[in-house]
């Protein structure tokens, strides 16, 4: 068996979960906008991908609840506002 301390040490030196989630959100949303918005028309699959992204965010937030401190939550909320601005600017 591998001791649990090894995973805890490795987790402390890796990329924070909040940063990974924010980067994932921007990448998925960027590709989603590029692929499914054409000439002011939003295709239906855009909303499907957006719903799947929301589900992934919910799952990730629930799974890593202890790692989301107050500054991490503020950064996450600001990034969601940035995603909204990204959609409005490109759309």
3-state secondary structure of 42: strand
What pLDDT, in 10s, does the model give residues 21-80? 999 999 999 999 889 888 778 889 999 999 999 999 999 999 988 888 888 889 999 999
Is the pLDDT higher at 4 or at 67? 67
What pLDDT, in 10s, does the model give residues 15-30? 788 888 999 999 999 9
Q: With 0-12 CB in 10 A as exposed, 13-18 as middle and 19+ as buried, what is 78?
A: exposed
The model's pTM is 0.78
């Amino acid at each position: 068996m591998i001791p649990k301390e090894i995973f805890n040490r490795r987790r402390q030196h890796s990329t924070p979960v909040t940063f990974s989630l924010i980067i994932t959100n921007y990448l998925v949303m960027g590709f989603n906008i590029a692929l499914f918005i054409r000439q002011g028309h939003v295709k239906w699959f855009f909303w499907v991908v957006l719903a799947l992204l929301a589900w992934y965010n919910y799952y990730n937030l629930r799974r890593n609840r202890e790692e989301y401190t107050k500054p991490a939550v503020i950064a996450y909320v600001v990034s969601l506002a940035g995603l909204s601005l990204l959609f409005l600017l490109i759309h």
